[in-house]
Every structure is written in structure tokens, then in C-alpha cells.
Structure 1
Amino acid sequence: MELEYIRTLPIFTAIDFSNNRFSGKIPEAIGELRTLEVLNLSHNSFTGNIPPSLGNLVELESLALSSNNLGGEIPSQMTKLTFLEVLNFSHNNLVGPIPYGNQFNTFENDSYYSNLGLCGFPLTKQCCNGEGPKPPAPKRKEAKGSPVAFIWKLVMMGYGLGFSTGYIVFTTGRPWWLVRMVERYWKPNVTRWICRIRGKINMH
């Protein structure tokens, strides 16, 4: 019996077609199943490229395409999958630079194992043309005695007055747009204030 679904049913938030004998290309139409949270097509015989339409699955949290015969590059559209927590492209024939941005910055080598043509972060193999994505820059660190570090103590004290905002700051790290704003507008004033205090202490 053959059935055609014109839209994703509410119960279809996960599709697992793994360990079958499916072959051919993964259809572009799969990108229309926008409410999918889990998609597992691993351990089949799919060929061709990964369809760029997978970037439309904005609710997707887990994607497994491992152990197939997929080739070509990983579509850059997939960086739009901002809820993606699990990714497995291992044991395929993928080539080219790994997309960089959003969740793709968090996956490790295991997600791309046994794809000898892939290059770029997080793999140690660099792209030959030098145009591959760069690894994330290390977070800035301020010396303990620097004015910036002192300013941040003041900022954290201010955040502590509001539980919700303070919780976000301490659990997710500093918002760097706020770092730049603090350094630009607060640092000169606070530095002068510190100098005045030190001058008074020295006079006594």
C-alpha cells in the first residue's frame, strides 16, 4: 500500500530508517518535513550529495547519515540548524571544507570520521586553498589586576541585583558585545576614579 503525506503529521517528529537497504539519492522533498526533530538514515546505501533542503529542518536536534555512500560537499545551508545537538556524517565519501558557524562549531572529529576528502575545523587536515573555515578564536583573558578585570567585578555585582539576568551571565558566559561596550564607555571613567582613590590613599 502506498500513502502520500502532504504535510508532516504531529506524531512524526522522529524518522528512523537506519539499517535498511535503501539506495539512490536522498530526496530534496525531505526538507519539507519541517517539524522533524530526529532523522536517522544511517547504514543504508544512499548515494549522491546531501540535499541542501535539509537546512530547512529548523527543528532538527539529531541527524545521522553515517555509513552510506554520500559524496560531494556538506551544504552550507545546514548551518541554519541551530537546535542540532547530534551530528554523524562518518563513513561516507564527503569532500571539501566543513561548514563553519552556529552548531557546526561544536561538533568534534567523530562526526566526520572516515571522510578522507573533508578538511577544516575541527579536523587537523587543513584545506589546500586556505579558504576553509578558521577555528574559533580563543576567549580573551584579562589580568587579575587590570582595570578591565576590576570593571567586570562591578558589572557582575550589578547583574547580581537581578536574578534572571545574573543567572544567564554566569551560566552562558559574558556577552562580548557588553564587554566591548564596557571597555569603550566605562573603562576611562572608572580608571580615573581608581586613580583619584589611589591618590587620596597615598596622601594619607
Structure 2
Amino acid sequence: MEGCSIESINLNGNKLQGNLPKSLINCVRLKDLDVGNNRLQDKFPFWMEALPMLRVLVLKSNKFDGNLSMPSRSNFPFPKLQVLDISRNAFVGSLPQRYFKNFKAMMDDKANQRERYNDGDLNFLYYVEMTITLKGQDQLLKRLLEAFTILDLSSNRFSGSIPDCIGNLYSLRYLNLSHNNLMGHIPASLGNISVLESLDLSSNKLDGGIPRELTRLTFLEKLNLSMNNLVGQIPQSNQFSTFDNDSYMGNLRLCGIPLTRKCNKENGHQMQPEEDDEENEEYGFIDGFGWRSVVMGYGSGIIVGIGIGCWIIRFGRPRWLVEFFFGVGYTYKKNKKKKKKTRKRATPTQRSL
């Protein structure tokens, strides 16, 4: 691909296999690469960090793996990247802090726009059309690229904590780190991303409280913190008063509106669980006996009960239990009926005798 002048490549939704061709490094004018929803099996393309014009990189729903925290030769990786979607792959290790510290286009989109105008780059994808995951559902978005920034690392195997430096991505609009193995506290620095519209940290192992700094996110429309180990009272100012129960499900030590668990007035961290807790009904009882166990217990009890009933009716045993249910003398009456039937069936010889 020597002398490559390609600016946009979209191969999303095919059945491509193998590796990404490294010859793409020669496409120095490449701005958009989308190979999502294929069967590509490769390591993360660190060699693409040096592409000076790349703005959109989508590798979602493939078989990419490896550790993104590995050191690279580039001091300023992906200098103009605005969209990075590597969700639904098999990446491991900690989150790539060096990327969070160098994604300049996600730090200052206004400066990024000025650079585009200065470079005469006015014709590239005024609108970008992408399918992104919001609260577990895929949604098609069509947005102006100049103001569109997204970081989606969901459904991988990332571990460790969420670094504070992620709060330096001041121009980030969509952040999805869900369905990983992330631990530790939610960084308060996320409250610095004032234009954030969607935040999904669900299905991890995050603990601690929800930072009050997140209430500064006045543009936040979608929030999902469900299925973690968060504790304490849910903040109730600004946008947080608009989120429903689904945003917090599966955090058994969270309390306050919109959950049914009330917080302890003294410290706001301990809760008083209610008997009719809706969350327990959906995710299982606190003591470990979920609805599946209850159904299995009832089913087994019904089968055993029917069997015992048939035995009692047929053989009249045990006598005390029969008399308890059917009245005193039931066993005697039943035995008398049996004797009458036996006499009727007697042979003529037996009758003469």
C-alpha cells in the first residue's frame, strides 16, 4: 500500500478473519477505520498509534486480545483520536493509563476543531453514524464528528482500578467500562468531565460510595452503576434525581431514593432493608435463597405430598394419620368393605362348606 491515499475504511459486519494488515501504516491520511463485528483474531494494533490523522478506530466484537498497558515506542499515541471502541473482545490487564493521558482530542475538542480548520480538513465526515451500547442496549447514533467523542472498553477482561487520570478527558461524551473485572472506588475525577452524556460502569467489582462530584455532570442522560459492590447513600442533586432504580440494581448496600432501602439517618451509610424490597425479588434474597430455590422446594414438596396421599388412600396407613384427616373409624369401615368384597368372590364349594 505504498503511497496509500485512503481516508476511510468501513468493513463492519462481515466475516473477516485473520489479522489486521500492517500495511495500513502506510495510509498516513487514514481518518476512519471500522472493522467491528467480524472474526478478526489479533493483538491490539499498537503500530497504528503513529497514524497522524486517525480519528475513529472501531475494533468491537472480534477476537482481539492482549494487554493494552504494554509500553510502546510512540510518545504521543493517537494524537487526534476521538472514537475508540474495542468492546466485546478479550483484552486483559489494567486500563491503558498512557492513552488516557495522551488522547488530546478527548481533552480539548475546541482545540481539535481549530487544528482541523488550520489544516484545511473541512470535508471529513461532518456526521458519523455508530451503534453504541447504552445501558445494555445497542443504539444507533448519528452525531457531528466535531463534537463526538466516545471511549468504549466494555465486555473485556480488564482488571485493577479506574485511574484518576481518566478525569482529564474533559471533552469525552460517552464512557463505557462495563462488564470487566474492575475493582476499587469510582474516581471522583470523573466529575471533571462536564460534557459527559453517558456513563456505564456496570457489572464490575467496584466498591465504596458514589462520589458526590458526579452530581456536577449536568449533561448526564444515561447512568448505569448496577451490579457492583457500592455502598452508602445515592446522591440526590442535579441529574441524579432523574435516574431510576435500574441504574443502581445489584448493589445490596446502596440506599436512598430511588431504591426502597432507607438510609440510616445518623451516617447515611447503613441501611434498613425492607421486607418487600423489590431488588431482592429480582436478584435473589439476601440470605442466599433465590426464587429458583423456592420454586424447586415447592415442586418437590408437591410431588412428595401427592405420593403420601396416594399411599394413605390405598392402604389406610398409618392409622393415626388416616383418622386425623378422614375421621375416627375410617380404617375400620374400609376393612369392613374389603371383607364384604371377599365374601362375594367366594366359590360355590366354599359357600356349601
Q: Same fold (TM over 0.5)?
A: yes
The CA RMSD over aligned residues, in Å, is 1.8
Q: Secondary structure at the match of 1:94?
A: strand
Match of 1:7 in 2: 104
Match of 1:29 in 2: 165
Match of 1:50 in 2: 186
Stretches of structure 1 lacking an aligned partner (at least 5 in a row): 133-204
Where relative contact order (Cα < 8 A, 6+ residues apart) is larger, the structure is 1
Match of 2:261 in 1: 125
Give, as a single letter, the amino acid of the residue that structure 2 aligns with 1:20. Answer: N
Question: How many positions carry a matched residue from both structures?
Answer: 133
Q: Secondary structure at the match of 1:70?
A: strand
Give, as a single letter, the amino acid of the residue that structure 2 aligns with 1:105. Answer: S
Residues 3-31 of structure 1: CA deviation (Å, up to 9, x unaligned)? 35162344671110000110000000000
Matches within 5 A, 1:85-164: 85-129=221-265, 132=268
1:59 is aligned to 2:195: yes
**How has the CA–CA distance of structure 1 residues 6 and 67 changed in structure 2, closer, same or farther, with 3 Å as cutoff?**
closer
TM-score scaled to structure 1, two decimals?
A: 0.62
- Alpha carbons 1:47, 1:68 under 8 Å: kept: yes
Give, as a single letter, the amino acid of the residue that structure 2 aligns with 1:117. Answer: R
- Alpha carbons 1:24, 1:45 under 8 Å: kept: yes
Shift of 1:100: 1.2
Q: Which runs of 4+ in 1 moved over 4 A?
A: 9-12
- Alpha carbons 2:218, 2:239 under 8 Å: kept: yes
1:80 is aligned to 2:216: yes
Q: Secondary structure at the match of 1:31?
A: helix
- Alpha carbons 2:103, 2:169 under 8 Å: kept: no
Give, as a single letter, the amino acid of the residue that structure 1 aligns with 2:190. Answer: L
Match of 1:17 in 2: 153
Residues 88-131 of structure 1: CA deviation (Å, up to 9, x unaligned)? 00000000000110000000000000000100111110111356
CA distance in 1, matches of 2:153, 2:182: 11
- Alpha carbons 1:8, 1:34 under 8 Å: kept: no
More helix by share: 1
Residues 144-197 of structure 1: CA deviation (Å, up to 9, x unaligned)? xxxxxxxxxxxxxxxxxxxxxxxxxxxxxxxxxxxxxxxxxxxxxxxxxxxxxx
Q: Secondary structure at the match of 1:96?
A: strand
CA distance in 1, matches of 2:182, 2:153: 11
- Alpha carbons 2:173, 2:195 under 8 Å: kept: yes
**How has the CA–CA distance of structure 1 residues 6 and 86 changed in structure 2, closer, same or farther, with 3 Å as cutoff?**
closer
CA distance in 2, matches of 1:6, 1:21: 22
Stretches of structure 2 lacking an aligned partner (at least 5 in a row): 1-45, 47-71, 78-98, 110-144, 269-353
Q: Secondary structure at the match of 1:8?
A: helix
- Alpha carbons 2:177, 2:202 under 8 Å: kept: yes
- Alpha carbons 1:72, 1:94 under 8 Å: kept: yes
TM-score scaled to structure 2, two decimals?
A: 0.36
CA distance in 2, matches of 1:6, 1:116: 36
More strand by share: 2
CA distance in 1, matches of 2:242, 2:174: 18
